[in-house]
Amino acid sequence: NMLNKKNEKLLLFDYDGTLVDSAQMIIDGTIEAFNRCGLATPKPEVIKAGIGQKLHVAFKRYIPLEHKGLINEVIRHYRQWYVEKDLEGTQFEPLFTNVKPVLKTLYQHGWKLGIATNKSLRGLSRGLSHHEIENFFSIIMTADDFTPKPDKAMAIHALRTLKVKNSEAFVIGDTVYDITMGKNAKIKTVGVTWGYNTKEELLHANADHIIHEPNELVEILRKR
Protein backbone atom coordinates (compact mmCIF):
# COMPACT_ATOMS: atom_id res chain seq x y z
CA ASN A 1 0.00 0.00 0.00
CA MET A 2 1.59 3.26 -1.19
CA LEU A 3 -0.03 5.28 1.60
CA ASN A 4 1.95 3.40 4.21
CA LYS A 5 5.24 4.14 2.53
CA LYS A 6 7.17 6.46 4.82
CA ASN A 7 8.26 9.58 2.99
CA GLU A 8 12.01 9.57 2.53
CA LYS A 9 13.58 12.67 4.09
CA LEU A 10 16.95 14.17 3.21
CA LEU A 11 19.41 16.48 4.93
CA LEU A 12 22.07 17.75 2.54
CA PHE A 13 25.14 19.08 4.38
CA ASP A 14 27.95 21.28 3.22
CA TYR A 15 31.38 20.15 4.53
CA ASP A 16 33.91 22.98 5.00
CA GLY A 17 32.65 25.44 7.60
CA THR A 18 29.58 23.33 8.38
CA LEU A 19 30.85 19.93 9.54
CA VAL A 20 34.56 20.71 9.81
CA ASP A 21 36.55 23.84 10.56
CA SER A 22 38.85 23.90 7.58
CA ALA A 23 39.74 27.59 7.60
CA GLN A 24 43.25 27.11 8.98
CA MET A 25 44.18 24.45 6.42
CA ILE A 26 42.76 26.49 3.54
CA ILE A 27 44.66 29.57 4.72
CA ASP A 28 47.93 27.62 5.17
CA GLY A 29 47.60 25.94 1.77
CA THR A 30 46.77 29.17 -0.06
CA ILE A 31 49.69 31.06 1.49
CA GLU A 32 52.05 28.18 0.68
CA ALA A 33 50.84 28.03 -2.95
CA PHE A 34 51.33 31.79 -3.40
CA ASN A 35 54.80 31.60 -1.83
CA ARG A 36 55.80 28.71 -4.10
CA CYS A 37 54.84 30.90 -7.07
CA GLY A 38 56.84 33.84 -5.69
CA LEU A 39 53.69 35.93 -5.15
CA ALA A 40 52.86 38.24 -2.26
CA THR A 41 50.93 36.47 0.50
CA PRO A 42 47.20 37.26 0.64
CA LYS A 43 45.86 38.27 4.06
CA PRO A 44 44.31 35.39 6.06
CA GLU A 45 41.02 37.26 6.53
CA VAL A 46 40.76 37.80 2.76
CA ILE A 47 41.35 34.09 2.14
CA LYS A 48 38.76 33.20 4.81
CA ALA A 49 36.18 35.42 3.11
CA GLY A 50 36.65 33.46 -0.13
CA ILE A 51 35.99 30.02 1.37
CA GLY A 52 33.15 28.16 -0.32
CA GLN A 53 33.84 29.49 -3.80
CA LYS A 54 35.49 27.52 -6.56
CA LEU A 55 39.30 27.87 -6.33
CA HIS A 56 39.51 29.74 -9.59
CA VAL A 57 37.05 32.40 -8.45
CA ALA A 58 38.57 32.78 -5.00
CA PHE A 59 42.20 32.94 -6.17
CA LYS A 60 41.39 35.46 -8.89
CA ARG A 61 40.52 37.92 -6.12
CA TYR A 62 43.86 37.57 -4.36
CA ILE A 63 46.23 37.67 -7.34
CA PRO A 64 47.59 41.09 -8.35
CA LEU A 65 46.48 42.11 -11.83
CA GLU A 66 49.94 41.77 -13.38
CA HIS A 67 50.16 38.12 -12.23
CA LYS A 68 46.68 36.92 -13.32
CA GLY A 69 48.36 34.61 -15.84
CA LEU A 70 49.75 32.54 -12.94
CA ILE A 71 46.37 31.47 -11.59
CA ASN A 72 46.53 27.90 -12.93
CA GLU A 73 50.01 27.46 -11.52
CA VAL A 74 48.91 28.72 -8.10
CA ILE A 75 45.98 26.27 -8.13
CA ARG A 76 48.32 23.45 -9.13
CA HIS A 77 50.61 24.25 -6.18
CA TYR A 78 47.64 24.50 -3.81
CA ARG A 79 46.39 21.05 -4.87
CA GLN A 80 49.92 19.68 -4.66
CA TRP A 81 50.22 20.98 -1.08
CA TYR A 82 46.97 19.19 -0.17
CA VAL A 83 48.25 15.97 -1.74
CA GLU A 84 51.43 16.31 0.37
CA LYS A 85 49.29 16.77 3.50
CA ASP A 86 47.23 13.73 2.47
CA LEU A 87 50.35 11.62 2.19
CA GLU A 88 51.76 12.90 5.50
CA GLY A 89 48.36 12.15 7.06
CA THR A 90 49.07 14.42 10.03
CA GLN A 91 46.90 17.46 9.44
CA PHE A 92 43.10 17.18 9.53
CA GLU A 93 40.32 19.74 9.63
CA PRO A 94 38.69 19.30 13.06
CA LEU A 95 34.96 18.57 13.37
CA PHE A 96 32.98 21.41 14.95
CA THR A 97 31.79 20.64 18.49
CA ASN A 98 28.63 18.47 18.65
CA VAL A 99 28.62 17.71 14.92
CA LYS A 100 29.23 13.98 15.30
CA PRO A 101 26.55 13.28 17.95
CA VAL A 102 24.03 15.34 15.98
CA LEU A 103 24.74 13.42 12.76
CA LYS A 104 24.34 10.17 14.69
CA THR A 105 21.00 11.29 16.20
CA LEU A 106 19.58 12.38 12.83
CA TYR A 107 20.77 9.17 11.18
CA GLN A 108 19.12 7.11 13.93
CA HIS A 109 15.89 9.12 13.51
CA GLY A 110 15.69 7.90 9.91
CA TRP A 111 16.85 10.97 8.03
CA LYS A 112 18.90 10.26 4.94
CA LEU A 113 22.08 12.35 5.09
CA GLY A 114 24.12 13.63 2.17
CA ILE A 115 27.09 15.90 1.50
CA ALA A 116 27.22 18.52 -1.25
CA THR A 117 30.60 20.24 -1.37
CA ASN A 118 32.73 22.31 -3.73
CA LYS A 119 35.72 20.46 -2.26
CA SER A 120 37.41 17.63 -4.17
CA LEU A 121 36.56 14.01 -3.37
CA ARG A 122 40.08 13.16 -2.27
CA GLY A 123 40.21 15.61 0.64
CA LEU A 124 36.61 14.89 1.59
CA SER A 125 36.99 11.09 1.75
CA ARG A 126 40.09 11.43 3.86
CA GLY A 127 38.31 13.68 6.35
CA LEU A 128 35.17 11.56 6.58
CA SER A 129 37.12 8.40 7.28
CA HIS A 130 39.47 10.11 9.76
CA HIS A 131 36.48 11.34 11.78
CA GLU A 132 34.63 8.01 11.31
CA ILE A 133 31.44 9.64 10.03
CA GLU A 134 31.36 8.32 6.44
CA ASN A 135 28.79 5.63 7.29
CA PHE A 136 26.15 8.23 8.17
CA PHE A 137 25.97 9.46 4.57
CA SER A 138 23.83 7.92 1.82
CA ILE A 139 25.20 10.18 -0.92
CA ILE A 140 28.33 12.28 -1.41
CA MET A 141 28.69 14.86 -4.18
CA THR A 142 31.75 16.98 -4.94
CA ALA A 143 32.80 19.57 -7.49
CA ASP A 144 34.82 16.79 -9.19
CA ASP A 145 31.59 15.46 -10.72
CA PHE A 146 29.02 18.27 -10.51
CA THR A 147 28.63 21.93 -11.38
CA PRO A 148 29.64 23.69 -8.14
CA LYS A 149 27.26 25.43 -5.77
CA PRO A 150 25.30 27.74 -6.00
CA ASP A 151 24.14 25.67 -9.01
CA LYS A 152 21.35 23.26 -8.05
CA ALA A 153 22.90 20.21 -9.77
CA MET A 154 24.06 18.42 -6.61
CA ALA A 155 20.75 18.94 -4.81
CA ILE A 156 18.67 17.74 -7.77
CA HIS A 157 20.89 14.67 -8.20
CA ALA A 158 20.47 13.77 -4.50
CA LEU A 159 16.67 14.15 -4.62
CA ARG A 160 16.39 11.98 -7.72
CA THR A 161 18.84 9.33 -6.61
CA LEU A 162 17.35 8.93 -3.13
CA LYS A 163 13.75 9.46 -4.38
CA VAL A 164 13.03 12.31 -1.98
CA LYS A 165 10.50 15.10 -2.67
CA ASN A 166 11.98 18.59 -2.43
CA SER A 167 9.38 19.37 0.26
CA GLU A 168 10.99 16.63 2.40
CA ALA A 169 14.56 17.96 2.16
CA PHE A 170 16.80 20.57 3.76
CA VAL A 171 20.16 22.05 2.78
CA ILE A 172 22.41 22.86 5.75
CA GLY A 173 25.40 25.12 5.17
CA ASP A 174 27.43 28.09 6.34
CA THR A 175 27.66 30.15 3.14
CA VAL A 176 25.31 31.94 0.77
CA TYR A 177 26.34 29.37 -1.90
CA ASP A 178 24.64 26.63 0.14
CA ILE A 179 21.50 28.69 0.73
CA THR A 180 21.30 29.70 -2.94
CA MET A 181 21.71 26.08 -4.08
CA GLY A 182 18.78 25.17 -1.83
CA LYS A 183 16.69 28.04 -3.20
CA ASN A 184 17.53 27.05 -6.79
CA ALA A 185 16.37 23.48 -6.06
CA LYS A 186 13.27 24.65 -4.12
CA ILE A 187 14.52 23.02 -0.92
CA LYS A 188 14.27 24.53 2.57
CA THR A 189 17.56 25.87 3.94
CA VAL A 190 19.30 26.11 7.29
CA GLY A 191 22.15 28.60 7.61
CA VAL A 192 24.75 27.88 10.31
CA THR A 193 26.61 30.75 11.94
CA TRP A 194 29.68 28.82 13.15
CA GLY A 195 31.23 28.78 9.65
CA TYR A 196 32.53 31.46 7.30
CA ASN A 197 29.53 33.69 6.50
CA THR A 198 27.74 35.92 8.99
CA LYS A 199 24.15 35.60 10.17
CA GLU A 200 23.41 38.80 8.20
CA GLU A 201 24.78 37.36 4.95
CA LEU A 202 22.78 34.14 5.42
CA LEU A 203 19.57 36.07 6.14
CA HIS A 204 20.21 38.27 3.15
CA ALA A 205 20.39 35.09 1.04
CA ASN A 206 16.93 34.21 2.48
CA ALA A 207 17.84 31.20 4.63
CA ASP A 208 14.65 29.65 6.07
CA HIS A 209 16.31 28.96 9.43
CA ILE A 210 19.44 30.21 11.18
CA ILE A 211 21.16 28.10 13.85
CA HIS A 212 24.11 28.89 16.09
CA GLU A 213 24.82 25.40 17.40
CA PRO A 214 24.41 21.91 15.82
CA ASN A 215 21.87 20.68 18.40
CA GLU A 216 19.43 23.37 17.21
CA LEU A 217 19.08 21.41 13.96
CA VAL A 218 17.55 18.49 15.85
CA GLU A 219 15.06 20.91 17.48
CA ILE A 220 13.99 22.42 14.15
CA LEU A 221 13.43 18.99 12.59
CA ARG A 222 11.61 17.67 15.65
CA LYS A 223 9.11 20.55 15.38
CA ARG A 224 8.09 19.52 11.89
Asked whether 12 and 155 are in contact (CB, 8 A), the reply is yes
Tell me the angle at which helices 176-184 and 153-162 cross, rounded to the nearest 10 degrees. 60
Confidence (pLDDT) at 209 = 98
Q: What is the pTM of this model?
A: 0.85
DSSP letter string over 12-37? EE--BTTTB--HHHHHHHHHHHHHHT
For 203-221, the pLDDT digits (tens) are: 999 999 999 999 999 999 9
Confidence (pLDDT) at 1 = 42
Phi and psi based region of residue 184 (left: phi greater than 0; alpha: psi -120 to 50; beta: remaining): alpha
Select from 174, 176, 154 the least CA-distant residue to 214.
174
For 132-189, the pLDDT digits (tens) are: 999 999 999 998 999 999 999 999 999 999 999 999 999 999 999 999 999 999 999 9
Please give the Cα distance from 196 to 23 (Å, whole number). 8
